[in-house]
Chains A and B, each alone.
Chain A
Protein backbone atom coordinates (compact mmCIF):
# COMPACT_ATOMS: atom_id res chain seq x y z
CA UNK A 1 0.00 0.00 0.00
CA UNK A 2 1.44 3.37 -0.86
CA UNK A 3 0.65 6.89 0.13
CA UNK A 4 -1.39 7.55 -2.98
CA UNK A 5 -3.63 4.59 -2.23
CA UNK A 6 -4.08 5.72 1.33
CA UNK A 7 -5.00 9.20 0.22
CA UNK A 8 -7.59 7.77 -2.19
CA UNK A 9 -10.91 9.56 -2.01
CA UNK A 10 -13.46 7.71 0.14
CA UNK A 11 -16.51 6.62 -1.90
CA UNK A 12 -19.15 8.30 0.29
CA UNK A 13 -21.42 9.08 -2.69
CA UNK A 14 -21.37 5.47 -3.92
CA UNK A 15 -21.90 4.23 -0.37
CA UNK A 16 -25.02 6.37 0.06
CA UNK A 17 -26.40 5.57 -3.39
CA UNK A 18 -25.93 1.78 -3.19
CA UNK A 19 -26.93 1.78 0.49
CA UNK A 20 -30.23 3.55 -0.27
CA UNK A 21 -30.95 1.24 -3.22
CA UNK A 22 -30.10 -1.85 -1.17
CA UNK A 23 -32.27 -0.68 1.72
CA UNK A 24 -35.11 0.00 -0.71
CA UNK A 25 -34.89 -3.49 -2.22
CA UNK A 26 -34.80 -5.16 1.21
CA UNK A 27 -37.75 -3.00 2.36
CA UNK A 28 -39.87 -4.05 -0.64
CA UNK A 29 -39.17 -7.77 -0.16
CA UNK A 30 -39.61 -7.78 3.62
CA UNK A 31 -42.62 -5.43 3.87
CA UNK A 32 -44.39 -7.53 1.25
CA UNK A 33 -42.63 -10.74 2.39
CA UNK A 34 -45.65 -13.03 2.64
CA UNK A 35 -47.06 -11.92 -0.73
CA UNK A 36 -43.65 -12.26 -2.43
CA UNK A 37 -43.08 -15.72 -0.92
CA UNK A 38 -46.60 -16.89 -1.72
CA UNK A 39 -46.03 -15.90 -5.36
CA UNK A 40 -42.58 -17.54 -5.59
CA UNK A 41 -43.72 -20.77 -3.89
CA UNK A 42 -46.09 -21.49 -6.80
CA UNK A 43 -43.02 -22.65 -8.75
CA UNK A 44 -42.73 -23.03 -12.53
CA UNK A 45 -40.35 -21.70 -15.16
CA UNK A 46 -41.39 -18.03 -14.90
CA UNK A 47 -41.16 -17.95 -11.08
CA UNK A 48 -37.78 -19.71 -11.16
CA UNK A 49 -36.49 -17.07 -13.59
CA UNK A 50 -37.83 -14.31 -11.30
CA UNK A 51 -36.06 -15.86 -8.25
CA UNK A 52 -32.75 -15.94 -10.14
CA UNK A 53 -33.20 -12.39 -11.48
CA UNK A 54 -34.06 -11.02 -8.01
CA UNK A 55 -31.06 -12.80 -6.45
CA UNK A 56 -28.72 -11.36 -9.09
CA UNK A 57 -30.13 -7.82 -8.71
CA UNK A 58 -29.70 -8.03 -4.91
CA UNK A 59 -26.17 -9.36 -5.26
CA UNK A 60 -25.10 -6.55 -7.57
CA UNK A 61 -26.79 -3.72 -5.63
CA UNK A 62 -25.97 -4.97 -2.13
CA UNK A 63 -22.55 -6.21 -3.32
CA UNK A 64 -21.70 -2.71 -4.59
CA UNK A 65 -22.81 -1.33 -1.23
CA UNK A 66 -20.66 -3.75 0.80
CA UNK A 67 -17.71 -3.04 -1.54
CA UNK A 68 -18.10 0.72 -1.01
CA UNK A 69 -18.56 0.10 2.74
CA UNK A 70 -15.12 -1.51 3.16
CA UNK A 71 -13.54 1.00 0.78
CA UNK A 72 -14.96 3.84 2.92
CA UNK A 73 -13.53 2.18 6.03
CA UNK A 74 -10.14 2.07 4.28
CA UNK A 75 -10.15 -1.75 4.20
CA UNK A 76 -9.05 -2.57 0.67
CA UNK A 77 -7.02 -5.26 -1.06
CA UNK A 78 -3.29 -4.86 -0.98
CA UNK A 79 -1.89 -4.25 -4.50
CA UNK A 80 0.11 -7.22 -5.77
Chain B
Protein backbone atom coordinates (compact mmCIF):
# COMPACT_ATOMS: atom_id res chain seq x y z
CA UNK B 1 0.00 0.00 0.00
CA UNK B 2 1.32 3.44 -0.90
CA UNK B 3 1.07 6.56 1.20
CA UNK B 4 -1.56 8.10 -1.08
CA UNK B 5 -4.20 5.52 -0.07
CA UNK B 6 -6.24 6.33 3.03
CA UNK B 7 -5.92 3.60 5.66
CA UNK B 8 -9.14 2.30 7.19
CA UNK B 9 -9.28 2.79 10.97
CA UNK B 10 -10.42 -0.31 12.84
CA UNK B 11 -12.17 -0.34 16.27
CA UNK B 12 -9.04 -2.15 17.57
CA UNK B 13 -6.87 0.82 16.57
CA UNK B 14 -9.28 3.25 18.27
CA UNK B 15 -8.70 1.49 21.62
CA UNK B 16 -5.17 0.14 21.20
CA UNK B 17 -3.40 3.31 20.03
CA UNK B 18 -4.61 5.70 22.79
CA UNK B 19 -3.79 2.99 25.39
CA UNK B 20 -0.25 2.51 24.07
CA UNK B 21 -0.04 6.30 23.81
CA UNK B 22 -0.94 6.69 27.48
CA UNK B 23 1.70 4.20 28.65
CA UNK B 24 4.35 5.65 26.29
CA UNK B 25 3.47 9.18 27.44
CA UNK B 26 3.74 8.16 31.09
CA UNK B 27 7.26 6.88 30.44
CA UNK B 28 8.24 9.95 28.38
CA UNK B 29 7.00 12.36 31.02
CA UNK B 30 9.04 10.47 33.62
CA UNK B 31 12.33 9.57 31.88
CA UNK B 32 12.12 11.99 28.92
CA UNK B 33 11.96 9.23 26.36
CA UNK B 34 10.23 5.99 25.55
CA UNK B 35 7.14 4.67 23.95
CA UNK B 36 8.42 4.97 20.39
CA UNK B 37 10.03 1.53 20.61
CA UNK B 38 6.65 -0.09 21.12
CA UNK B 39 4.39 2.31 19.17
CA UNK B 40 5.90 1.70 15.74
CA UNK B 41 5.75 -2.14 15.95
CA UNK B 42 2.38 -1.76 17.71
CA UNK B 43 0.92 0.15 14.78
CA UNK B 44 2.47 -2.28 12.31
CA UNK B 45 0.89 -5.21 14.16
CA UNK B 46 -2.46 -3.40 13.79
CA UNK B 47 -2.01 -3.34 10.00
CA UNK B 48 -0.34 0.04 9.44
CA UNK B 49 2.44 0.00 6.78
CA UNK B 50 5.96 0.46 8.23
CA UNK B 51 6.74 3.91 6.79
CA UNK B 52 3.33 5.30 7.81
CA UNK B 53 3.80 3.86 11.32
CA UNK B 54 7.24 5.52 11.70
CA UNK B 55 5.95 8.84 10.28
CA UNK B 56 2.79 8.94 12.40
CA UNK B 57 4.73 7.98 15.52
CA UNK B 58 7.13 10.85 14.82
CA UNK B 59 4.19 13.22 14.38
CA UNK B 60 2.79 12.35 17.82
CA UNK B 61 6.23 12.56 19.43
CA UNK B 62 6.99 16.26 19.11
CA UNK B 63 3.63 17.67 20.37
CA UNK B 64 3.78 15.22 23.29
CA UNK B 65 7.36 16.32 24.04
CA UNK B 66 6.23 19.95 23.91
CA UNK B 67 3.53 19.41 26.54
CA UNK B 68 5.87 17.29 28.69
CA UNK B 69 8.68 19.86 28.46
CA UNK B 70 6.31 22.67 29.49
CA UNK B 71 5.20 20.67 32.52
CA UNK B 72 8.74 19.65 33.50
CA UNK B 73 9.97 23.26 32.98
CA UNK B 74 7.58 24.37 35.75
CA UNK B 75 9.39 21.91 38.04
CA UNK B 76 12.79 23.39 37.06
CA UNK B 77 13.84 20.25 35.16
CA UNK B 78 14.44 21.72 31.69
CA UNK B 79 17.57 23.38 30.30
CA UNK B 80 16.15 24.81 27.07
CA UNK B 81 19.55 25.93 25.69
CA UNK B 82 21.12 22.52 26.30
CA UNK B 83 18.07 20.86 24.71
CA UNK B 84 18.27 23.07 21.62
CA UNK B 85 22.04 22.60 21.15
CA UNK B 86 21.79 18.82 21.63
CA UNK B 87 18.58 18.58 19.56
CA UNK B 88 19.95 20.48 16.55
CA UNK B 89 23.28 18.59 16.61
CA UNK B 90 21.40 15.29 16.95
CA UNK B 91 19.22 16.22 13.96
CA UNK B 92 22.40 16.59 11.87
CA UNK B 93 23.61 13.24 13.25
CA UNK B 94 20.35 11.56 12.23
CA UNK B 95 20.84 12.73 8.61
CA UNK B 96 24.24 11.03 8.47
CA UNK B 97 22.89 7.98 10.35
CA UNK B 98 20.08 7.54 7.81
CA UNK B 99 22.65 7.62 4.96
CA UNK B 100 24.70 4.89 6.71
CA UNK B 101 21.51 2.86 7.16
CA UNK B 102 20.67 3.17 3.46
CA UNK B 103 24.19 2.11 2.51
CA UNK B 104 24.00 -0.96 4.79
CA UNK B 105 20.61 -1.78 3.30
CA UNK B 106 22.11 -1.68 -0.19
CA UNK B 107 25.13 -3.81 0.71
CA UNK B 108 23.53 -6.40 3.04
CA UNK B 109 19.84 -6.23 2.09
CA UNK B 110 16.85 -5.84 4.44
CA UNK B 111 17.65 -8.90 6.58
CA UNK B 112 21.31 -7.91 6.95
CA UNK B 113 20.28 -4.39 7.87
CA UNK B 114 17.85 -5.73 10.49
CA UNK B 115 20.58 -7.92 11.95
CA UNK B 116 23.03 -4.97 12.06
CA UNK B 117 20.45 -2.69 13.74
CA UNK B 118 19.52 -5.38 16.29
CA UNK B 119 23.14 -6.15 17.14
CA UNK B 120 23.99 -2.47 17.72
CA UNK B 121 20.70 -2.11 19.64
CA UNK B 122 21.47 -5.03 21.97
CA UNK B 123 25.10 -4.00 22.56
CA UNK B 124 24.32 -0.32 23.23
CA UNK B 125 21.27 -0.93 25.41
CA UNK B 126 22.98 -3.71 27.38
CA UNK B 127 26.06 -1.54 28.09
CA UNK B 128 24.25 1.73 28.84
CA UNK B 129 21.41 -0.04 30.68
CA UNK B 130 23.86 -1.79 33.03
CA UNK B 131 25.76 1.47 33.69
CA UNK B 132 22.51 3.27 34.55
CA UNK B 133 21.31 0.34 36.69
CA UNK B 134 24.59 0.28 38.66
CA UNK B 135 24.36 4.03 39.16
CA UNK B 136 20.71 3.76 40.30
CA UNK B 137 21.69 1.06 42.80
CA UNK B 138 24.58 3.17 44.16
CA UNK B 139 22.40 6.31 44.39
CA UNK B 140 19.72 4.37 46.26
CA UNK B 141 22.20 3.24 48.89
CA UNK B 142 23.68 6.69 49.43
CA UNK B 143 22.63 8.30 52.69
CA UNK B 144 23.44 11.78 51.40
CA UNK B 145 22.41 12.83 47.93
CA UNK B 146 25.54 13.70 45.93
CA UNK B 147 24.86 16.68 43.70
CA UNK B 148 28.31 16.85 42.15
CA UNK B 149 28.75 15.55 38.61
CA UNK B 150 30.57 12.23 38.13
CA UNK B 151 34.27 11.83 37.39
CA UNK B 152 33.84 11.75 33.61
CA UNK B 153 31.67 14.89 33.66
CA UNK B 154 34.25 16.67 35.84
CA UNK B 155 37.00 15.80 33.35
CA UNK B 156 34.82 16.97 30.45
CA UNK B 157 34.19 20.30 32.18
CA UNK B 158 37.96 20.81 32.52
CA UNK B 159 38.23 20.75 28.71
CA UNK B 160 37.99 24.49 28.10
CA UNK B 161 38.53 25.13 24.39
CA UNK B 162 36.25 28.09 23.53
CA UNK B 163 33.50 28.75 22.84
CA UNK B 164 32.29 27.52 26.22
CA UNK B 165 28.55 26.93 26.54
CA UNK B 166 26.82 27.66 29.85
CA UNK B 167 23.83 25.55 30.78
CA UNK B 168 22.34 27.27 33.84
CA UNK B 169 19.64 24.73 34.73
CA UNK B 170 21.98 21.76 34.20
CA UNK B 171 24.58 23.73 36.24
CA UNK B 172 27.22 22.85 33.71
CA UNK B 173 29.71 24.73 31.53
CA UNK B 174 30.96 22.62 28.64
CA UNK B 175 32.96 23.39 25.51
CA UNK B 176 31.05 23.67 22.22
CA UNK B 177 33.57 21.11 20.88
CA UNK B 178 32.25 18.51 23.33
CA UNK B 179 28.53 19.35 23.33
CA UNK B 180 27.91 19.49 19.59
CA UNK B 181 29.80 16.27 18.69
CA UNK B 182 28.01 14.55 21.59
CA UNK B 183 24.63 15.64 20.23
CA UNK B 184 25.70 14.58 16.74
CA UNK B 185 26.77 11.15 18.02
CA UNK B 186 23.47 10.62 19.87
CA UNK B 187 21.61 11.48 16.64
CA UNK B 188 23.83 9.11 14.66
CA UNK B 189 23.05 6.28 17.08
CA UNK B 190 19.37 7.28 17.27
CA UNK B 191 19.09 6.88 13.50
CA UNK B 192 20.27 3.29 13.91
CA UNK B 193 18.49 2.13 17.05
CA UNK B 194 15.52 4.58 16.88
CA UNK B 195 15.50 5.24 20.63
CA UNK B 196 17.52 8.44 20.89
CA UNK B 197 16.52 9.21 24.46
CA UNK B 198 18.15 6.03 25.76
CA UNK B 199 21.44 7.54 24.59
CA UNK B 200 20.73 11.24 25.09
CA UNK B 201 19.67 11.07 28.76
CA UNK B 202 22.69 9.01 29.97
CA UNK B 203 24.99 11.23 27.84
CA UNK B 204 23.68 14.36 29.56
CA UNK B 205 23.95 12.70 32.99
CA UNK B 206 27.38 11.09 32.76
CA UNK B 207 29.22 13.26 30.20
CA UNK B 208 27.71 16.72 30.68
CA UNK B 209 27.04 16.32 34.42
CA UNK B 210 23.28 17.04 34.51
CA UNK B 211 21.13 15.48 37.24
CA UNK B 212 18.69 12.73 36.24
CA UNK B 213 15.83 15.23 36.70
CA UNK B 214 17.36 17.83 34.36
CA UNK B 215 18.62 15.23 31.85
CA UNK B 216 15.21 13.56 31.54
CA UNK B 217 13.38 16.93 31.40
CA UNK B 218 15.79 18.35 28.81
CA UNK B 219 15.48 15.20 26.70
CA UNK B 220 11.90 16.33 26.00
CA UNK B 221 13.27 19.47 24.28
CA UNK B 222 15.58 17.25 22.20
CA UNK B 223 12.63 14.98 21.35
CA UNK B 224 10.64 18.06 20.31
CA UNK B 225 13.37 19.32 17.96
CA UNK B 226 14.06 15.88 16.46
CA UNK B 227 10.36 14.99 16.22
CA UNK B 228 9.54 18.30 14.54
CA UNK B 229 12.25 18.03 11.89
CA UNK B 230 11.45 14.35 11.34
CA UNK B 231 7.73 15.08 10.97
CA UNK B 232 8.37 17.85 8.42
CA UNK B 233 10.42 15.44 6.36
CA UNK B 234 7.88 12.55 6.53
CA UNK B 235 4.86 14.86 6.02
CA UNK B 236 6.56 16.40 2.97
CA UNK B 237 6.48 12.93 1.41
CA UNK B 238 2.85 12.42 2.51
CA UNK B 239 3.51 9.52 4.89
CA UNK B 240 2.07 11.00 8.11
CA UNK B 241 -1.39 9.67 9.01
CA UNK B 242 -2.71 12.52 11.12
CA UNK B 243 -5.57 10.40 12.49
CA UNK B 244 -3.16 7.77 13.87
CA UNK B 245 -0.90 10.47 15.35
CA UNK B 246 -3.88 12.18 17.01
CA UNK B 247 -5.21 8.88 18.39
CA UNK B 248 -1.87 8.20 20.08
CA UNK B 249 -1.67 11.83 21.20
CA UNK B 250 -5.09 11.52 22.83
CA UNK B 251 -3.69 9.01 25.34
CA UNK B 252 -0.12 10.25 25.49
CA UNK B 253 -1.04 13.76 26.64
CA UNK B 254 -2.72 12.24 29.70
CA UNK B 255 0.32 10.03 30.26
CA UNK B 256 2.99 12.69 29.79
CA UNK B 257 1.32 15.03 32.33
CA UNK B 258 1.10 12.22 34.87
CA UNK B 259 4.69 11.08 34.24
CA UNK B 260 5.95 14.64 34.70
CA UNK B 261 3.96 14.99 37.96
CA UNK B 262 5.48 11.67 39.06
CA UNK B 263 9.04 13.05 38.92
CA UNK B 264 8.17 15.50 41.70
CA UNK B 265 7.41 12.60 44.09
CA UNK B 266 10.53 10.49 43.56
CA UNK B 267 14.21 10.57 44.36
CA UNK B 268 16.96 10.80 41.75
CA UNK B 269 17.63 7.04 41.64
CA UNK B 270 14.03 6.19 40.72
CA UNK B 271 14.31 7.87 37.29
CA UNK B 272 17.57 5.98 36.67
CA UNK B 273 16.03 2.71 37.84
CA UNK B 274 13.00 2.98 35.54
CA UNK B 275 15.23 3.97 32.64
CA UNK B 276 17.64 1.05 33.21
CA UNK B 277 14.82 -1.49 33.56
CA UNK B 278 13.08 -0.33 30.39
CA UNK B 279 16.35 -0.34 28.44
CA UNK B 280 17.22 -3.86 29.59
CA UNK B 281 13.74 -5.30 28.96
CA UNK B 282 13.61 -3.74 25.49
CA UNK B 283 17.09 -5.11 24.85
CA UNK B 284 15.86 -8.64 25.67
CA UNK B 285 12.91 -8.10 23.34
CA UNK B 286 15.26 -7.31 20.46
CA UNK B 287 17.61 -10.16 21.39
CA UNK B 288 14.72 -12.60 21.02
CA UNK B 289 14.14 -11.49 17.42
CA UNK B 290 17.79 -11.95 16.30
CA UNK B 291 17.36 -15.67 15.34
CA UNK B 292 14.59 -14.60 12.93
CA UNK B 293 16.97 -12.22 11.11
CA UNK B 294 19.65 -14.94 11.04
CA UNK B 295 17.08 -17.28 9.44
CA UNK B 296 16.21 -14.59 6.86
CA UNK B 297 19.92 -14.40 5.98
CA UNK B 298 20.04 -18.20 5.58
CA UNK B 299 22.44 -18.59 8.53
CA UNK B 300 20.03 -20.48 10.79
CA UNK B 301 17.33 -23.10 10.24
CA UNK B 302 14.15 -22.11 12.01
CA UNK B 303 10.61 -23.45 11.59
CA UNK B 304 8.10 -20.77 10.43
CA UNK B 305 6.00 -21.40 13.55
CA UNK B 306 9.05 -20.82 15.79
CA UNK B 307 9.90 -17.61 13.93
CA UNK B 308 6.33 -16.38 14.37
CA UNK B 309 6.44 -17.28 18.06
CA UNK B 310 9.70 -15.36 18.52
CA UNK B 311 8.27 -12.29 16.77
CA UNK B 312 5.19 -12.33 19.00
CA UNK B 313 7.32 -12.93 22.09
CA UNK B 314 9.52 -9.97 21.15
CA UNK B 315 6.48 -7.66 20.88
CA UNK B 316 4.99 -8.99 24.13
CA UNK B 317 8.27 -8.27 25.96
CA UNK B 318 8.25 -4.69 24.60
CA UNK B 319 4.71 -4.23 25.94
CA UNK B 320 5.92 -5.67 29.25
CA UNK B 321 8.56 -2.90 29.42
CA UNK B 322 5.80 -0.29 29.16
CA UNK B 323 3.58 -2.02 31.71
CA UNK B 324 6.43 -2.52 34.23
CA UNK B 325 7.45 1.14 33.95
CA UNK B 326 3.79 2.23 34.20
CA UNK B 327 3.29 0.23 37.40
CA UNK B 328 6.51 1.62 38.97
CA UNK B 329 5.67 5.24 38.04
CA UNK B 330 2.02 5.08 39.18
CA UNK B 331 3.11 3.25 42.34
CA UNK B 332 5.70 5.97 43.06
CA UNK B 333 3.06 8.69 42.60
CA UNK B 334 0.62 6.90 44.92
CA UNK B 335 3.34 6.36 47.55
CA UNK B 336 4.55 9.95 47.27
CA UNK B 337 1.03 11.34 47.64
CA UNK B 338 0.40 9.16 50.71
CA UNK B 339 3.66 10.36 52.27
CA UNK B 340 2.79 13.99 51.48
CA UNK B 341 -0.63 13.60 53.12
CA UNK B 342 0.94 12.01 56.21
CA UNK B 343 3.46 14.88 56.41
CA UNK B 344 0.63 17.36 56.10
CA UNK B 345 -1.39 15.69 58.88
CA UNK B 346 1.71 15.64 61.11
CA UNK B 347 2.20 19.35 60.40
CA UNK B 348 -1.37 20.08 61.50
CA UNK B 349 -1.03 18.01 64.70
CA UNK B 350 2.21 19.82 65.59
CA UNK B 351 0.70 23.21 64.86
CA UNK B 352 -2.41 22.74 67.04
CA UNK B 353 -0.73 22.69 70.51
CA UNK B 354 1.32 25.75 69.56
CA UNK B 355 -1.80 27.86 69.18
CA UNK B 356 -2.67 30.08 72.20
Residues of A within 8 A of B (CB): 1-3, 6, 26, 29-30, 33-34, 36-38, 40-45, 47-49, 51-52, 54-56, 58-60, 62-63, 65-67, 69-70, 75-80
Contact = CB atoms under 8 A, between A and B. Distances in A.
Nearest to B227: A55
Contacts of A38: 6
A44 B146 CA distance: 51
A22 B264 CA distance: 27
A26 B246 CA distance: 8
Interface string B1-31: 0011111010000000000000000000000
B257 A52 contact: no
Contact of B257 (A45, A58, A70): A70
B34 interface: no
B308 interface: no
A72 to B, nearest CB: 12
Q: Chain B, interface size: which category?
A: 35 or more
A2 B115 CA distance: 54
Interface string B220-251: 00000000100110011111111101100110
Given A55-B249, A78-B264, A41 B6 contact: yes
Nearest to A47: B235
B76 interface: yes
B286 interface: no
Contacts of A75: 258, 261, 333, 337
B341 A77 contact: no
Given A63-B63, A78-B264, A80-B264, 19 more contacts: A33-B243, A34-B6, A41-B238, A43-B237, A55-B59, A55-B60, A55-B242, A55-B246, A58-B249, A59-B63, A59-B66, A59-B67, A63-B66, A63-B67, A63-B253, A65-B253, A70-B257, A77-B74, A80-B75
B241 A37 contact: yes
A6 B344 CA distance: 10
B242 A37 contact: yes
B28 to A, nearest CB: 13
A3 B344 CA distance: 7
Interface of B: 3-7, 9, 59-60, 62-64, 66-67, 70-71, 74-76, 228, 231-232, 235-243, 245-246, 249-250, 253-254, 257-258, 260-261, 263-265, 333, 336-337, 340-341, 343-344, 347-348
Nearest to B265: A78
Given A58-B63, A70-B257, A40 B231 contact: no
A26 B74 CA distance: 28
Nearest to B255: A66
Contact of A48 (B7, B235, B243, B246): B235
Closest 4 CB pairs of A and B: A59-B63, A43-B238, A63-B67, A48-B235
Nearest to B343: A1
Nearest to B266: A78
27 contacts: A1-B343, A26-B246, A30-B243, A33-B243, A37-B243, A40-B240, A48-B235, A51-B235, A52-B231, A55-B62, A55-B63, A55-B245, A55-B249, A56-B66, A59-B64, A59-B67, A59-B253, A62-B253, A63-B70, A66-B67, A69-B257, A70-B257, A75-B261, A76-B261, A77-B260, A78-B340, A80-B75
Most chain-A Cβ atoms within 10 A of its Cβ — which of B235, B236, B243, B254?
B235
B155 to A, nearest CB: 30
A76 B235 CA distance: 36
B3 A41 contact: yes
Contacts of B9: 33
